Amino acid sequence: MSKPKHARTLGETEAQAITRNIRVSPRKLNLVAGLIRNKPVGQAVATLTFSKRRIALAVKKTLESAIANAENNHQLDVDQLVVTHAEVGKALVMRRFHARGRGRSAQIEKFFSHLKIVVAEKPKADSNTEQKAA
CATH number, domain of 61, equals 3.90.470.10
Contact 37, 117 (CB under 8 A): no
User: Is there a domain that residue 1 lies in?
Assistant: no
Q: Edge-to-edge strand order for the sheet containing 81-99? A: 14-22, 105-121, 81-99
Residue range of the domain that includes 77: 14-133
DSSP 3-state of 134: coil
Query: pLDDT digit string (tens) for 41-93?
Result: 999 999 999 999 999 999 999 999 999 999 999 999 999 999 999 999 999 99
pLDDT of residue 6: 86
User: Is there a domain that residue 4 lies in?
Assistant: no
DSSP 75-107: ---GGGEEEEEEEEEEEEEEEEEEE-GGG-EEE
Instruction: For residues 33 and 62, give the distance between their C-alpha atoms in angstroms, rounded to a whole number.
Output: 11
- Computed over every residue of the chain, the mean pLDDT equals 93
Instruction: For residues 79 and 60, give the distance between their C-alpha atoms in angstroms, rounded to a whole number.
Output: 17
What share of the chain has pLDDT > 70, as a percent? 93
DSSP structural state of residue 50: T
Instruction: For residues 54 and 85, give the distance between their C-alpha atoms in angstroms, rounded to a whole number.
Output: 21
Which amino acid, one-letter code, is at 29?
Answer: L
Number of domains the chain contains: 1
pTM of the model: 0.86
pLDDT of residue 3: 86
